[in-house]
Amino acid sequence: MVTDHRKLPRRRGEALNAAIFQATLDELAETGYARLTMERVAERAGAGKASLYRRWPTRLELVMDAVYEVLPDPASTPDTGTLRGDVLAALRGAAEVLAGPAGE
């Protein structure tokens, strides 16, 4: 049963973006990029298709923003005491994220 998104409480800003990004990553994990559609992401996020197209004109832009959202912040690299340790820790963090749906 599909719920009409217009009858749900209205979300805006970060709450809406978070739901859309999560729906995008879930859809990527389930169907892959080739079969990902804006319609399915909107349905999964409980949002209107128009709200997606207003923010992201293409699915490529949507997927890129969703992936960037889950990647570690480069400004907050761990301080291990050595440059080599810092770089390795940052790369391991990025590799963990990219091993999931964001990397597919």
* DSSP characters over the chain: -PPPGGGSPP--HHHHHHHHHHHHHHHHHHH-GGG--HHHHHHHHT--HHHHHHH-SSHHHHHHHHHHHHSPPGGG----SSHHHHHHHHHHHHHHHHTSGGG-
Please tell me the pTM assigned to this model: 0.70
For the chain, what percent of residues have pLDDT higher than 70? 85
Q: How confident is the model at residue 14 (pLDDT cuts 50, 70, 90)?
A: confident
Domain assignments of the chain as residue spans, ordered by start: 1-70, 74-104
Q: Which CATH architecture has domain 1-70?
A: Orthogonal Bundle (1.10)
